[in-house]
Structure 1
Amino acid sequence: MVSLDNLANEITSAVKTYTQDVTNGIEKELDKTSRTVTKDISTNSPKKSGRYAAGWARKKISDGVGVRYISYNKYKPGLAHLQENGYAKRGGGRVAGKPHIRPVVDRELPAMVNRIKSIIRNGG
């Protein structure tokens, strides 16, 4: 039984617990999804020498608001958008792009959003 004097404290405590559980659940989901996305991008990357495909990594960025993960190519960072979108050749003509980043993101993002909604509904 909670007295009226302690009701506000109990509600505050319950909200803090819910918030922390949801935050932890979302961070775990972001970590899991970023691992999957980075692995799939690497698997689907064009492989001439293999260095570009092997260079995919992810970075966790924590700021005061939350956590973000960024997938990037540590060996050939300037090549990703050229491989994805294609480019104009110096002597004329174009090299066609080989989409390997956007398809993975388009597939994983909606599923991640649904899992995060479930985490919020279930309280963590």
Structure 2
Amino acid sequence: MAGKSVGIDSFATVLEQSLSDYGISTAANVKAAVTKAGEAVKDQIQSTAPRDTGRYAKSWSADTVKETASSKAVVVHSKKQYRLTHLLEFGHAKRGGGRTKAQPHIAPAEKAGFELLLSEVEKGVKG
């Protein structure tokens, strides 16, 4: 609408169209940011996950669970090794007594993904 001259009769229509275009553009930018952040979280977890056989690290996935015209939800999860996530993240009691050391790898990735999402959304909204 920059540099466009409109009459008072068509002002409401032009304004409505401009706001609609902005909303569509912003939604697309936010959806792209959500996808990028989800993949970044998955990649960071895979690279920092404890490794024994490597199956746990490879089991992480970022899946889109819901997508509409204006929103998107991505879930990062361990597909087959989900039972190990809290045990490795927080440590656990051992059979013969004592505890294993916590190996935080999910929480740092979540925090980094949140920061990435915020910066990408700000970048997308500002243009």
Q: Does 2:36 match 1:37? A: no
CA distance in 2, matches of 1:28, 1:111: 12
Superposition pairs of residues 1-124 of structure 1, within 5 angstroms:
1-62=5-66, 66-122=71-127
Same amino acid, percent of matched pairs: 25
Question: Hey, what's the Cα distance between the residues in 1 that align with 2:56 and 2:36?
Answer: 23
More strand by share: 1
Two-structure CA RMSD over aligned residues (Å): 1.6
Aligned partners of 2:41 and 2:112 also within 8 Å: no
Query: Unpaired runs of 5+ in structure 2?
Result: none
Q: Deviations over 1:43-94 (max 9, x none)?
A: 1111111111110111112255621111101111111111111112233211
Give unmatched runs, 5+ long, in structure 1: none
CA distance in 1, matches of 2:76, 2:56: 13
**Cα offsets for 1:14-43 (capped at 9, x unmatched):** 000001101101111111121111011111
Whole-angstrom CA distance in 1 between matches of 2:40 and 2:116? 12
- Number of residues paired by the alignment? 122
Whole-angstrom distance in 2 between the partners of 1:118 and 1:73: 30
Write the distance in 1 (CA, Å) between the matches of 2:81 and 2:12.
55
- Matched residue type, 1:108: G
* 2:37–2:116 Cα contact (<8 Å) kept: no
Measure, in 2, the Cα distance between the counterparts of 1:117 and 1:100.
26
Q: Secondary structure at the match of 1:109?
A: helix
Normalising by the residue count of structure 1, what TM-score does the alignment of the two structures yield?
Answer: 0.88
Shift, 1:113, TM fit: 0.7
